[in-house]
Amino acid sequence: MLVKRSRDEEFREAYAELFSHAYRTAFRISGDRGASQDLAQEALTRAYVHWARLGDRRVGWVVTTTSRLAIDRWRREQRRAGAAPSSAAIASDTATADRLDLMRLLARLPRRQREVAVLRYLEDWPERDVAEALGCSVGSVKRHAARALAAMRVQLELPSLATEAL
């Protein structure tokens, strides 16, 4: 006899793993432990509301939602502070400055490119897993990843990999 588990039971069983993914994503973007916990909790609250519709894409949905929340929070903070201050003005710490630069770059990308970049490079997911999580093809993931990297290189004024090879 097959016993159907309730939404609450399923969510409780998946909570620790999902929170871990969400927290790591938020921390890689924001660098703030407290904010990362808040962002992860918000993403999981939203996941609970949509639990039945998420199916097998729960991890990808939570990570994508967390990255969107982290970038939205950063944008709000930038607006509140007025003009975006330079990385050097905010902190002399190189890691903090790099994280702020990354946030600026990610915030300028189109939504799908940003999602792919976060999952593929910050979360270090294989292309196949990113495609599954976002409900698209592996080719689409490759295309969005290439475009995201190219756009970020342009913003950083870095030469492309092809130019370096010459």
Q: Which residue has the higher pLDDT, 1 or 144?
A: 144
Structural domain of 155: 7-165
| Structural domain count, the chain | 1
The pLDDT of residue 159 = 58
What average pLDDT does the segment 55-72 reach? 89
Is-above-0.95 flag for pTM? no
Mean pLDDT of the chain: 83
What average pLDDT does the segment 75-92 reach? 63
Flag whether 44 is in a domain. yes
Give pLDDT tens digits for 93-138. 566 677 778 888 888 889 889 889 988 988 888 999 889 888 899 9
Q: The domain spanning residue 85 has which CATH number? A: 1.20.140
Helices (H) and strands (E) in the chain, counts: 10, 0
Flag whether 1 is in a domain. no
Residue pair 58/18 in contact by the 8 Å Cβ criterion: yes
The pLDDT of residue 76 = 85
Q: Is the dihedral of CA 59, 65, 68, 72 positive or negative?
A: negative
